[in-house]
Amino acid sequence: MVKMVKRASRAELSLGRGPAKGRARRAGPPPANNRASKQTIRCENVARILEAAEAVFATKGFSGATTAEIATRAGIPKPNLHYYFRTKQALYRAVLDDILALWLDATASIVAEAEPADALRRYIEAKMAYSRTRPFASKVFANELLHGAPAVKGFLGGAMKRLVDDKAKVIEGWITAGRIAPIDPYHLFFVLWAATQTYADFDCQIAAVLGKKKLGPTDFDRAGETVATLILRGLRLKV
């Protein structure tokens, strides 16, 4: 199994969406004084490659994506891509690593002390916002899951399971306290994920059925409102 590499340089890339979690910097050769511009170039190129790769992997899948297309989209020659990421597989892993961090963050509002209706509404809004602003991330993840999650199985059964176990306890606490109606907390999460991510993953189907060419902000607003209404009522909470 390939070890995670080049994590350090990605910390400050993330395209300005949300605060980057503090990560250890690269433990490489000590930087000389006038390396600044070179490092900047490297960071910029890596960022552009990762952004291009996310888009191409999202629309073509892993096997359908070509390093040539990623390089073209990133505006760099193809061999340079292989200079920054030795293999297509390594580039894919790097893209996925970025996405996994996003996924863990979204549950932040689900805590025992919160008002259940507020917490769930905020969670749905946060997930729906990801679907709107980071559709490629959602699609790359969906594609990975569809094919059996070869690269993220460890994550799913590890960090992700622990997080959901934790949040499921919060939900159970709310049920025991009579603050929400009884429900299976795990399946509640599965439904929430599905209902929000479907607007990113299967946007073309939703747009086609709605008779539109593309989903717009109002579609996402209406979607979020519908999901929140169904779930809150479904837990016998005041909408």
Count of C-beta atoms within a 10 Å radius of residue 94: 22
| Residues present in the chain in total | 239
Restricting to residues 155-194, which ones interact with its own copies according to CB under 8 A? 156-157, 160-161, 164, 181, 183-184, 186-191, 193-194
Q: How far is the CB of 136 from DNA (least distance, A)?
A: 17
The one segment of 65-73, 125-133, 137-145, 174-182 that binds DNA by CB under 7 A = 65-73
Q: Minimum distance from CB of 191 to DNA (Å)?
A: 36
Backbone angles phi, psi at 35, to 5 degrees: -85, -10
**Is residue 83 at the binding interface for DNA, with CB under 7 A as the rule?**
yes
Contacts 24+ apart (CB under 8 A), 130-134: 130/102, 130/106, 130/196, 130/200, 131/196, 131/197, 131/199, 131/200, 131/220, 132/199, 132/200, 132/217, 132/220, 133/17, 134/17, 134/102, 134/200
Shortest Å distance, C-beta 149 to DNA: 20
Q: Which of 2, 8, 36, 66 binds DNA (CB under 7 A)?
A: 66
According to DSSP H, which parts of 106-215 are helical?
Answer: 116-133, 135-146, 153-155, 161-176, 185-201, 203-210
Q: Which does 43 bind (CB under 5 to 8 A by kind): its own copies, DNA, none?
A: none
60 binds, among DNA, its own copies, none (CB under 5 to 8 A by kind): its own copies
Q: Considering only 12-20, 127-135, 176-184, 199-207, which stretch makes contact with DNA by CB under 7 A?
A: 12-20
* Residue 38 in contact with DNA, rule: CB under 7 A: yes
- Can you spell out the DSSP letters for 11-51? TTTGGGSSPPPP-PPP--SPPPGGGHHHHHHHHHHHHHHHH
Q: Would you count residue 17 as binding DNA (CB under 7 A)?
A: yes
Binding of residue 36 to DNA (CB under 7 A)? no
DSSP-derived letter for residue 178 is T
Identify which of residues 71 and 120 has a Cβ nearer to its own copies in the complex.
120
Structure tokens at 77: 């020659």
Nearest CB to its own copies, comparing residues 10 and 127: 127
Q: CA-to-CA distance for 151 and 99, rounded, in angstroms?
A: 12
Binding site residues, its own copies, CB under 8 A: 58-64, 139, 142-143, 145-149, 153, 156-157, 160-161, 164, 181, 183-184, 186-191, 193-195, 197-199, 201-202, 204-206, 208-211, 222-223, 225-227, 229-231, 233-236
